[in-house]
Amino acid sequence: MASIMYAIKCPGCERSAFVDDYYKTHEKYIFCMVCGYYYTKTIEKYTENSIKYKGEVCEGHGMFVLVNKDGSCEKVMLNDSLTVAQLEELKAKLMERNVNQEKSYLISFENGVFTILFGNPPEHFHLTFEEYRRKMIAKYGVPEYDFMVPIEG
C-alpha cells in the first residue's frame, strides 16, 4: 500500500489534523490529536467491477494522552462528552506511579471550546493551523505541492 501523510486544517477545531491518504485505493484517514476529530473512508466491498466505500466521522470531544515513565504512550480520542465517572477514571489513571505527569494530559472540546482538565498539552496544541504550517515549512522546507503541509516526525 502506498500513502501520503500530511497536515490539514482540522474540520472540527481548525487546528492541525493529520491525513493518511492511500491514493491507490482512495482510502483516507484524518485524525486530529488536538480535539479528537477523526474521519475514515475505507473499502467495504470490492468486486472486479466496483468498489464500495464506507465512511465514519467523529466530531471529537477532546484528547486523553497518557505518557508512561518508560516512554510508552496511550492516546485516546474522546468520542463523546465526558461523564463524571469517566473523568474520575481518567484522572485516577493519570495519578498512577508509572505515569509521567509532566507529559500527560486530558483535554475536553465542547461547543468549540477547549478545557484543559489535567496536565500540560504540548506546544503544537496551542498553535493555529497557519502557525503550525509556518513552523513545519521553516523546519522541513517548502513542500512540492501547496496542499501538503509537513508533519512532525
Q: State pLDDT tens for residues 11-51.
A: 999 999 999 999 889 999 999 999 999 999 999 999 989 99
Greater pLDDT, 143 or 100: 100
Per-residue confidence (pLDDT) for residue 124, from 0 to 100: 82
The half-sphere exposure of 122 on its side-chain side, counting CA atoms within 13 A, is 13
Per-residue pLDDT of 112-153, as tens digits, reads 999 999 998 988 888 999 999 898 888 888 887 777 787 875
pTM over 0.75: yes
Given a cut of 90, is residue 1 above it in pLDDT?
A: no
Q: Look at residues 125, 94, 111, 116 and name the one whose alpha carbon lies nearest to residue 15.
A: 125
**Grid coordinates in use for 73?**
504512550
How would residue 84 be classed by pLDDT, with cut points 50, 70 and 90? very high
Give the C-alpha separation, 136 to 91, whole Å.
33
Per-residue confidence (pLDDT) for residue 148, from 0 to 100: 76
